[in-house]
Amino acid sequence: MTNAPQVDRSSADTVRAEYAELVREAATGERSAMERLLMRVQEVAYRFSLLVCGHQEDAEDVMQDALLKTYQHVGKISDPSAFRTWLYTTVRNACLMKRRRRVGEPSHFEPIEGGGGLEGTGRRAMDVPDMASPPDDRLMDGWIDRRLRTALQALPPAYRIVLVLREIDGLSTREVATVTGVSEANVKQRLHRARVMLRRQLEIP
C-alpha cells in the first residue's frame, strides 16, 4: 500500500497552461505558433476519435474537421484557458456525427458485380476470409497496445468517453462534465464504473 494519493493532477494543470499559451501565441497570427497548435489539435482529435469510436478512417476525418474549426475559431477566443474544453467538445460532436452516419450504414456491402459467387465453392465473394491483419490494425498495434484498445471498445460508449477524457487525456472532472454535458457527480460515478470495467476487461487481478 502506498500512503499518498496515486494520481498526479499537477501535470494536468501544466498541460492546461500549455494549451492556453499555445492559443495566445497562435492568435497573434505567427505561423510557427499556429502550426504547433494545429498539430496538437490534430493529435488530440485523432487519438480521441480512434479510442472512443474505434474507426481509423473516421479518426482522420475528425482530425481534419478539428483542424479547420480550430483555424476558424482561434482568432475569436477571448478566454484561452477555455480552449481545451472547446476543442474536446468540438471533437466529441464530430465523433457523434460520424457514429450517427455509421448507424445508418448497412453492416456489410454486397459486391456491385452481379452474382458474386466463387465458382465451385458455393461461397460468395464477400465470404472470403482475410486472415491477415488489415494494414490499419498493424499501424494501430504499433501505436497503442491492442489489448487496451480492445478493452476500451468493450465499454459502453458513455463510460468509455469519460474514461478516455479523464484517464488518457487528463481532463478534470469539471472539464469532462462540460464536454459531455452531464453533472460532475455523474462523471465521477461513470468514471468509477468505467475503471472497474476496464480492469475486468484487461483481466488485471
Partner 1 sequence: MTDSTRPECVPVLASISAYLDGELPGTECVRIEAHCVGCESCATLVEGLRATLGLCRGVASLPLPAPVRERAQASVQKLLDDALGSPKVRG
Beta strands in the chain (DSSP E): 117-118, 123-124
Helix or strand (DSSP H, E) at 31: helix 31-53
Say whether residue 185 binds partner 1 (CB under 8 A): no
The minimum distance between CB 109 and partner 1, in angstroms, equals 25
Q: Site map for partner 1, 27-66, x if CB under 8 A?
A: ----x--xx--xx--xx--xx---x--------x--xx--
The only residue of 49, 170, 177, 179 in contact with partner 1, by rule CB under 8 A = 170
The only residue of 68, 118, 125, 158 in contact with partner 1, by rule CB under 8 A = 68
SS (H, E, C) 148-162: HHHHHHCCCHHHHHH
Take residue 181 and report the three cell numbers written for it: 454535458
What number of chain residues touch partner 1 (CB under 8 A)?
45
Percent helix, strand and coil across the chain, each to the nearest 5:
70, 0, 30
Q: Closest CB to partner 1 among 111 and 156?
A: 156
Q: Closest CB to partner 1 among 60 and 89?
A: 60
